Amino acid sequence: MPEFTDKTWLLLAGFSGLLGATLVGIGEFTMQFNPAGGYEAADYHFFADISLHRLTFGHFFSVMAAPLYILGYWHLGTVFIRGGTRISGCVIMLLGGYSFVVATAWMGGRIYLALTAHAIAESTDAETVVALQDLLAGFRAHNEPLVNVLRVTMLLMSVVWVVQIVRKQTLYPRWMAFANPITILGSIFGVYFYLPSGGIWLLPAAMNVTHVIVFALSCIALLRLSDKEAEGKGNGSP
């Protein structure tokens, strides 16, 4: 049997995170992609053009694959621990793990927004439409704050990410500082607003596209290290 080194386990966790980001991205894209865009609209009308089969598949596919993100963040945090300090690595793990527990709750709530938007589009009764619009507003008020929590935690994590990599307190080369989540996520939103023809393909699964890039680059950087180099400083300093 092949010997599994620390580097091997670390890479397996990284590839698991990459797989999770890919699968959740497929689910979110299936559930949310509309060639007409309009993802920022408060009435979620873009959902009305998406079939119920797509919504159902995307909902279950994305939510069921989301736990793989936990392994991905264990991978990232361990890279920080081995190259620097336990504190920075634990911050990465905790912020990443917490944010994607919240994100899974957010994703699970999208289906109710989508089904309500469908019902509004199909209804011909004015009073029913008004009632459904009020219901949609309530769903929105309890769903959108969750994705904002995700974005704030990504920002906080990215600050730690950049500072520690620039200080050479991780196993990563310094160019990985540019591959922090908030910079990649901001670039995707920039593409959507300034180049909509390309952005409409990226925004439905923006956070997952971000993490596909992060996990892929992390694994590439780790593959370039020897087994000894991947051990770094062991458990890191406090």
Residue 163 lies in a domain: yes
The predicted pLDDT at position 77 comes to 94
Residue 204 lies in a domain: yes
Return the structure tokens found at 179. 């591959």
Residue 1 lies in a domain: no
Residue 237 lies in a domain: no
Please check the confidence at residue 234 and state whether its pLDDT lies above 60: no
pLDDT in tens, 2-11: 455 688 999 9
Report, as an integer, the average pLDDT of 81-109: 91
Residue 236 lies in a domain: no
Confidence of residue 235 (pLDDT cuts 50, 70, 90): low
pLDDT in tens, 141-161: 999 999 999 999 999 999 999
Evaluate whether 5 touches 232 at the Cβ level (below 8 Å).
Answer: no
Of 206, 24, 34, the closest CA to residue 114 belongs to 34
Residue 238 lies in a domain: no
The three-point CA angle 21-24-28 to 5° equals 130
Please check the confidence at residue 27 and state whether its pLDDT lies above 50: yes
Evaluate whether 163 touches 156 at the Cβ level (below 8 Å).
Answer: no
* Torsion angle defined by CA atoms of residues 109, 115, 120 and 125, in that order, rounded to the nearest 10 degrees: -120
In the chain, how many domains are there? 1
Residue 114 lies in a domain: yes
Mean pLDDT over all residues of the chain?
Answer: 92
- Domain range for 141 is 6-231
